[in-house]
Amino acid sequence: MSDILTAGNLSFAPLYKRVKMRIMQRLTVGEWKPGEAIPSESRLTEEFQVSIGTIRKAIDELSAEKILVREQGRGTFVATHTEDRFLYYFFRIVDRNGVKIFPQSHMLSFRRMRADANQAERLQITRGARVIRINNLLKLGGKPVEIDEIILPAERFPGLTEEMLLTRSSTIYHLYQAQFGINVIRAAEKLHAVTADDETARILHLQKGSPVLGIARVAYTYNNLPVELRNSYVNTVDHDYFNDLGKSA
């Protein structure tokens, strides 16, 4: 990703890269929304006045980046945060047998506050800007496994209420998308082992002073724009964080 495109200059980029960027632009402004089909390849040829091979190469890259999803015989769709996609890309906790199950989320608190220096820097907003802090407990198979502290820039989530989070039926990333048009497509995580503080230990049913896996995440939407901060602590007594290195998928 770190090439001429992220640098902003695409005047001299290959045609298919420019087509790709024009498609991304239209996704960014919400012309084609998550779940919807984009125009067919042959229609895009007319629109962009390039050959179908060039269109295909642009879409190839976008679908490799999980921004678009192709379905033979049906069309090409803007990626949505279905449970599958969430489990596959953004939730890495597995049980001792390597099996991943869908977590149940329980909200512990919801509060509006101001960004401190660190949060502001990571979210690329000004210090003191309004943010929303959400604390969740995730259970797997009924057992408390992870606690999350989520920080959202309030400006990007206008009208977000506690009620909306309590009544949501699917993942929070799906809510960002459906309610605020924010499509999380990437996240960077830093993991470390720490001693659980007393409250964390209590909530995760661990003894005082137990080690937990800490995860600091920044989630991004199109154009590497940060939209969510998340600090998590995971009880890894019966679960692991799974990671596959060197895979393309």
CA quadruple 125, 126, 130, 136: dihedral, nearest 10: 50
Distance CA(189)–CA(221), nearest Å, equals: 15
Distance CA(182)–CA(28), nearest Å, equals: 9
- When CB distances are held under 5 to 8 angstroms depending on the partner's kind, the choice from its own copies, DNA, none that residue 149 binds is none
Could you count the other beta carbons within 10 Å of the beta carbon of residue 7?
A: 8
What per-residue string of b and e applies to 214-232 under the rule 16 or more CB within 10 Å gives b?
bbebbbbbbeeebbbbbeb
Residue closer to DNA by CB (options 54, 177) is: 54
CB of 14 to its own copies, least distance (A): 12
Residues 191-210 that bind its own copies (CB under 8 A): 191-195, 209-210
Residue closer to DNA by CB (options 61, 149) is: 61
Query: Can residue 246 be called a binding residue for its own copies (CB under 8 A)?
Result: yes
- When CB distances are held under 5 to 8 angstroms depending on the partner's kind, the choice from its own copies, DNA, none that residue 8 binds is none
Residue closer to DNA by CB (options 63, 104) is: 63
Query: Can residue 74 be called a binding residue for its own copies (CB under 8 A)?
Result: no
Q: Give Dmax over CA atoms of the chain in angstroms.
A: 65
Which residues contribute to the site for its own copies (CB under 8 A)? 1, 61, 64-66, 89-90, 92, 94, 98, 185-195, 209-214, 216, 234, 236, 239-249
